[in-house]
Structures are given as C-alpha cells and as structure tokens.
C-alpha cells in the first residue's frame, strides 16, 4: 500500500523534482561498499533499485551522493545521502524504500533540503566509530560488527596513543593513496569510550578522512594497546609520512560511519 502511495508521486515530471536528504543505516557485511558499481552489490545500488521501483524514475536519472563512501564490509548508522526525487509524500517514500531494503538497509529519516545542499560537500564533519572485542574467545553475536583482539589491551596506552591524532596533520602514513590528492586532514576528536565489559569503542571525528585512514589508525593503536609500539611514537609516524611505518590495517567489519554534521539551517 505504501508502495502504491509512493508510486503515485512518480507520475510527477522530473521538473517537479526536489532534493531529498536521507539518513541511512546499514549492515555492510554483504555489500561491496556504498558507491554504485556494475556487477557487484553495493548499498548505493540497492538504494537506487528501490528508488527506481518506488518513483518510477529510470536508474540513470537517480544520482545518489553520499557523505562517506564506505568501503566493502564497513557499516553505517548515520550515512547521509542526497538524491533528487519528485515532490510527494516523503514519509510514504521512506516506508516504501524500507519495505524493499530493511532490515539490511534502513532509511531512518527523510527531509527536503535546498537544491544547493549536497550530502558530500555540505558536510562539516564525519564521525566514525570502531568497535573491538578484547576477550580470550570471540563472541558469536559481535563477530559481524567488532574486531576480535585476543591479546589484552591497555586502555591507558590506547588513550595516550589516540591523543596525537587530534589537529591538522598530513595523514600520508595512515592512508592508502588515491592519486595525488592532499592527505592533510583536520581531526576534531580522537578518543576511546569507557569500556563496556570486553567491548572497546574508538571514535574519531574529522572534517574529512583519507582512504582507509580510520582502519590504519586503529590498527596502529592496537599495537600500542598491546605494548608492541609506544604511544609516544605516533607523532613521529605521522611526521614520517611513510605508509610503511603504520602498515597494520584494522579489519573493515569493526568500522561504522556513525554520523555526519551539517550547518544548522541545512539539518
């Protein structure tokens, strides 16, 4: 029924289209990331298919823009997506999309935004959360969403190691290069939450991130937490700009795009 409601708005001509902002949560386990790619299943592809079914627009008319192009296996709680769709009952459209994609992909919220609002370029910051289970044995119920680290981690060392990342740095040592683009980024927060039993959560917020930057930072911090590396070395590794100094990459499945910040008027 909601599908038909949403579909009826699809008869509006493209000239009546306006920009919609979607807040999307997904379990990234069975996706090859967000960005639409031919031949592989992606979050953007699944959302596009659902939008095609709900609006009647052809796929080539739907250009999804996301705040963070999460990699294969990475999850999201508050991914933000903008797309131009016909004016209509947006809440019915949201329900229609969830009817096709939930619970793997859930559109948590929809809102009309101005035509110059863009999920990617209007974002002020992105926040990622990385979850670790630090226990002698893995936990079957956390295995999809947390990295299991059996060696004991020292939270004080983890916290000392996390501090130096705050501020503006060249993160060349902590990212996979994508062309010749700058790797200078400003990190606003880098902290470990109080532990919840055996579950440790690291949160990092920045205006933008380099490719695989959070996973490289967490991989290195885990070596600090086990005592294999010293927290005092982090600044030197940053300054080296040398990828070989921070080669350990935390697995994708512990990472989650937590939320994205925009200026108040656009929210």
Which residues fall within 8 angstroms of residue 120, CB to CB, at 6 or more apart?
A: 65, 66, 67
Contact with a second copy (CB under 8 A) among 144, 176, 207, 248 = 144
Q: How far apart are CA 127 and CA 157, in angstroms?
A: 22
Look at residues 187, 256, 258, 192 and name the one whose alpha carbon lies nearest to residue 224: 192
* Residue 194 binds to a second copy (criterion: CB under 8 A): no
As measured in angstroms, the least distance from the Cβ of 86 to a second copy is: 23
Options 27, 71, 118, 223, the catalytic residue: 71
Omega cis (within 30) before 103: yes
* Residue 171 binds to a second copy (criterion: CB under 8 A): no
Is the Cβ of residue 49 or residue 104 nearer to a second copy in the bound state? Answer: 104
Q: Would you say 96 and 34 are in contact if contact means Cβ atoms under 8 Å apart?
A: no
71 tagged catalytic: yes
Is the Cβ of residue 50 or residue 172 nearer to a second copy in the bound state? Answer: 50
Helical residues (DSSP H) of 132-212, grouped into ranges: 155-162
As measured in angstroms, the least distance from the Cβ of 20 to a second copy is: 17
What is the end-to-end Cα distance of the chain in Å, rounded? 30
Is the Cβ of residue 102 or residue 191 nearer to a second copy in the bound state? Answer: 102
- Dihedral over alpha carbons 33, 37, 38, 42 (to 10 degrees): 30
Contact with a second copy (CB under 8 A) among 25, 64, 216, 252 = 25
* Residue 148 binds to a second copy (criterion: CB under 8 A): yes
**Interacting positions 111-140 with a second copy (CB under 8 A):** 137-140
Structure tokens, 120: 């990617």
**Interacting positions 73-112 with a second copy (CB under 8 A):** 75, 77, 98, 102-108
* Residue 2 binds to a second copy (criterion: CB under 8 A): no
* Residue 196 binds to a second copy (criterion: CB under 8 A): no
Grouping H, G, I as helix, E, B as strand and the rest as coil, residue 62 is coil
* Only segment of 20-28, 48-56, 116-124, 185-193 that touches a second copy (CB under 8 A): 20-28
* Residue 259 binds to a second copy (criterion: CB under 8 A): no
The conformation of residue 195, written as its DSSP 8-state character, comes to P
Which residues fall within 8 angstroms of residue 121, CB to CB, at 6 or more apart?
A: none
- Binding-site ranges for a second copy (CB under 8 A): 25-27, 75, 77, 98, 102-108, 137-141, 143-145, 148
Active site residues: 71
């Amino acid at each position: 029924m909601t599908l038909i409601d949403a579909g009826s708005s699809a008869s509006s001509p493209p000239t009546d289209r306006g920009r919609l902002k979607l807040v999307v949560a997904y379990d990234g386990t069975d996706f090859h990331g967000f960005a639409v790619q031919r031949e592989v299943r992606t979050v953007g592809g699944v959302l596009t298919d659902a939008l095609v079914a709900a609006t009647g627009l052809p796929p080539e008319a739907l250009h999804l823009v996301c705040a963070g192009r999460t990699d294969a296996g990475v999850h999201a709680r508050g991914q933000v997506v903008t797309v131009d769709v016909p004016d209509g009952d947006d809440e019915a459209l949201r329900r229609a999309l969830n009817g096709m994609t939930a619970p793997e992909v859930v559109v948590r919220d929809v809102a009309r935004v101005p035509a110059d609002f863009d999920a990617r370029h209007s974002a002020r910051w992105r926040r990622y959360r990385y979850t670790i289970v630090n226990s002698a044995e893995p936990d079957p119920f956390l295995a999809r969403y947390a990295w299991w680290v059996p060696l004991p981690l020292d939270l004080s060392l983890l916290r000392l190691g996390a501090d130096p990342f705050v501020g503006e740095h060249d993160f060349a040592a902590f990212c996979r290069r994508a062309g010749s683009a700058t790797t200078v980024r400003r990190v606003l927060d880098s902290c470990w939450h109080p532990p919840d039993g055996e579950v440790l959560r690291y949160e990092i917020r920045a205006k933008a991130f380099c490719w695989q930057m959070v996973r490289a930072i967490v991989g290195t911090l885990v070596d600090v937490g086990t005592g294999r590396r010293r927290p005092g070395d982090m600044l030197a590794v940053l300054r080296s700009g040398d990828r070989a100094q921070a080669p350990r990459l935390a697995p994708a499945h512990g990472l989650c795009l937590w939320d994205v910040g925009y200026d108040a008027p656009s929210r």
